[in-house]
Structure 1
Amino acid sequence: MSGNRADGERGGAVGASLEIACDESGSDGENLTGGNTDVFAHAGVSLSVASAAAAVREIRDRIRSPAEEYKANHLLREKHRAVLEWLLAPEGPMHGRARVHLTEKTYFVVDRTLGLLLDDAAEAALLFPAGRPVFGQDGWQAFLEAANQLLRVRHDGDPVDAFYGTVDTLRRAHPGTDAARILERLAATRPRAVAYRDGFLAGPPLVPLLNPLLPAIVRTAALWSASGRPVHLVHDRQNMLTPERIAWIEDTARRAGIGLAGLRLVVARDDARVQVADFLAGIARKIASDELNGRGDPALTALLRPYVDPDSVWGDARSGALLAAPVTG
């Protein structure tokens, strides 16, 4: 995925850097186990403004909706299936010029919980696939919800007591399993959880542990700068992206050796490249969610595969293999 050519076929160039337009889909804040979506998607596209505008015009000409602003939902309607397939197809306007980073939200919760409490996020790759078979649907859902409440800034009741009560109940009910072994380790971490919650007394953290957007942006920068060419990111405006958090993104990328040259915000409707990124993010979220829940469309999943970041945060092995998003640990 190289940068802009003189004829403008590729992404916008800023000096020696590559400009990538970004948007997301599936944001529910820190509510990752009871929100409206179970997948978060962050897309980046390497298109010139002219190429992106041409793609948006073509979509409008094919769909012919009176809506002022088109969204992914327009493309996901069955009557517009041909337009969706054209957009994702190898001969379409995005192929080789767009990528999407996926986050399976419940896996993200488990990953962040074990990373915080055990300093061992690798255990998430063991606990996550075992949780539902060992603890049952109700027990596993109780664990996920308790972990989500423990880590989120806004919460109900005493999230520390609720989490460790759930851990104790499950580990005692299912002894001798690998899942119970991990819960045994978690049961000894209450002081760390209390210290984490006490940290909120001074105010909410700059970077909420459970918000997937900020790490997804860092990953997008890493993905596009992997060839050695630095990237500028152009992102749709949203409340989460304050100047302080943008500075955190840039600093985090710099310390990780990622070639992020800068990030600026735009209004999506004023930048066709961001509109295309919005299309891809919304489409990818829906296709991935359908595959995750066993109702995937094989043709659409196959069309999406070339766009999916192989280092997406994904815990379900079956759907991950189909989406080309391998299980991460």
Structure 2
Amino acid sequence: MTGTSLSRLGPGVDNVAVPLTGEKYTQLTQHQPTTDDESHGRWVACDESGWDGEQLIGRHRRFLVFASVAVDDVEAAVLVQALRERGGIRQAGELKFRLFKDHAQRLSLLQELWAPGGALRDRCSVYVVEKEYAASAKVIDLLLEEKEYAEGGNLYADGQARALARTLALEGPRALRGPLFGDLMSAFVALASQRGAARHGEASEAFFTVIERAWAASTRKPVTELLARLRSTRAYAAALHDEDANFPLLEMLIPAAAQTARRWGHSLGRVSLLTDEQRMLTDNALGTVKLYARSPVGMTLFTRERGADVAAVVRGSSSDHPSVQLADLLAGAAAAVTERHAGNDSPAASALWPAVVSFVDTSSLLPYDDPAARLRTVDERLTRR
């Protein structure tokens, strides 16, 4: 994946908390409160906002955020109770960001929590995915890089893959006027997603028909040259669904969780990840997160990154785990900040962006060298669309 080291690896309305049942969710559910200890190391609670599965194009919310807080349930319970008391929150059930976003006094409590000297200042991280850029990166990874590798090349060796993904994502909309760029990316998603596997021949033909139209219509040389290279990837498109993958080809939640575990492990030593319940995070998916986080990754000697000491990756209900409630607050705030970046400001984003952008993971899947610096701004490229 361009922009991360997992090369094989939605307005989205946030998922309603529904108990997960069935054989896919029987092994890795954490019912007991988490406590930092020698066996598990430091617990890191996580929650997402903006997930749309493989549907990366044409969604109301352009960003997926995966927020994490290095805190166990014992400490989190004290912080959650303090937020309730000081915020005058009497509603039953767990804390949610919606209880804070339209209340200035409550937002000030979050500012205090995350500000320098605050209880969670150095214990928060946010991995951000711009979905359209993720789709562009997947075009390169799944088609062009496969062709390059088969011919003895390596697009990852000197950053070519990332540069090509940025060319497609940033210059593509300008080079392909009207709806053509959207048509191109939508056709790719239809081809590479699990839905495309059932009608692969039809989806492939539709994609390459759009490729030909786009190549002929492109008004920018770098995009035209990239599209010319993609015209010769039919064989690799035909093989997209030939092998059983550990998870859907366009699924971004699993690599986001794996990267989060890896980063915390490098920072803190032994860690365990507690994710909010989410239907994509099956036992197999959580096992994949742990495997990737523990494994060394990188295509060259200079980019190789060691694995992290991740003791466990489990799921848990926010109603059972106050630490997940703190992750929910951060995920909601981060979603508001990314909406501000896309030109949709709000009181919550205006109040919280200075704190939140400082938590943004530098390896976030965004077409910027410095994601945090860019998320401080309003992106005219996004607001014009």
The two structures have a TM-score, normalised by structure 2, of: 0.73
Q: CA deviation at 1:52?
A: 1.3
Unpaired runs of at least 5, structure 2: 1-34, 146-154, 156-160, 297-306, 378-385
Match of 1:148, as an amino acid? V
Report the counterpart of residue 73 of structure 1 in structure 2: 98
- Residue among 202, 216, 221 paired with 1:177: 221
- Residue among 164, 175, 189 paired with 2:233: 189
SS at match of 1:129: helix
Deviating more after overlay: 88-97 vs 144-153? 88-97
Report the counterpart of residue 285 of structure 1 in structure 2: 335
Superposed CA offset, 1:30-73 (max 9, x none)? 11113342111112211232331122223323052525233222
Pairs aligned (count): 311
- Residue among 280, 283, 295 paired with 1:240: 280
Q: Contact 1:110–1:147 (CA<8 Å) still a contact in 2?
A: no
Report the counterpart of residue 223 of structure 1 in structure 2: 263
Q: 1:210 to 1:63 in 2, by over 3 A?
A: farther
Once superposed, which parts of structure 1, at least 4 consecutive aligned residues long, lie more than 6 Å away? none
Question: For 1:227-306, what aligned pairs fall within 5 Å after superposition?
Answer: 227=267, 229-256=269-296, 257-293=307-343, 295=345, 297=349, 299-306=351-358
CA distance in 1, matches of 2:127, 2:370: 18
Q: 1:145 to 1:63 in 2, by over 3 A?
A: farther
Q: CA deviation at 1:100?
A: 1.1
Q: CA deviation at 1:109?
A: 0.8
- Residue among 57, 60, 64 paired with 1:33: 57
Deviating more after overlay: 279-288 vs 132-141? 132-141
Report the counterpart of residue 151 of structure 1 in structure 2: 192
CA distance in 1, matches of 2:63, 2:121: 22
Q: 1:64 to 1:16 in 2, by over 3 A?
A: closer
Q: Contact 1:254–1:260 (CA<8 Å) still a contact in 2?
A: yes
Deviating more after overlay: 52-61 vs 208-217? 52-61
- Residue among 1, 5, 19 paired with 2:43: 19
CA distance in 2, matches of 1:194, 1:67: 52
Question: Over the residues paired in the alignment, what is the CA RMSD in angstroms?
Answer: 2.6
SS at match of 1:40: strand
Identity of aligned residues (%): 28
The reply to whether residue 96 of structure 1 matches residue 136 of structure 2 is: no
Q: Contact 2:127–2:361 (CA<8 Å) still a contact in 1?
A: yes
Q: Contact 2:107–2:351 (CA<8 Å) still a contact in 1?
A: no
Q: CA deviation at 1:292?
A: 2.8
The reply to whether residue 85 of structure 1 matches residue 130 of structure 2 is: no
Q: CA deviation at 1:91?
A: 3.8
Q: Contact 1:310–1:324 (CA<8 Å) still a contact in 2?
A: no
Q: CA deviation at 1:319?
A: 7.1
Report the counterpart of residue 64 of structure 1 in structure 2: 89
Q: Contact 1:150–1:159 (CA<8 Å) still a contact in 2?
A: yes
Q: Contact 1:22–1:234 (CA<8 Å) still a contact in 2?
A: yes
Deviating more after overlay: 133-142 vs 207-216? 133-142
Q: Contact 1:101–1:312 (CA<8 Å) still a contact in 2?
A: yes
Q: CA deviation at 1:114?
A: 1.0
Deviating more after overlay: 252-261 vs 288-297? 288-297
Deviating more after overlay: 222-231 vs 270-279? 222-231
Deviating more after overlay: 151-160 vs 209-218? 151-160
Q: CA deviation at 1:88?
A: 3.2
Task: Give the structure with the higher percent helix.
Answer: 1
The reply to whether residue 125 of structure 1 matches residue 125 of structure 2 is: no
CA distance in 1, matches of 2:184, 2:369: 20
CA distance in 2, matches of 1:65, 1:182: 56
Q: CA deviation at 1:278?
A: 1.5
Q: Contact 1:230–1:260 (CA<8 Å) still a contact in 2?
A: yes
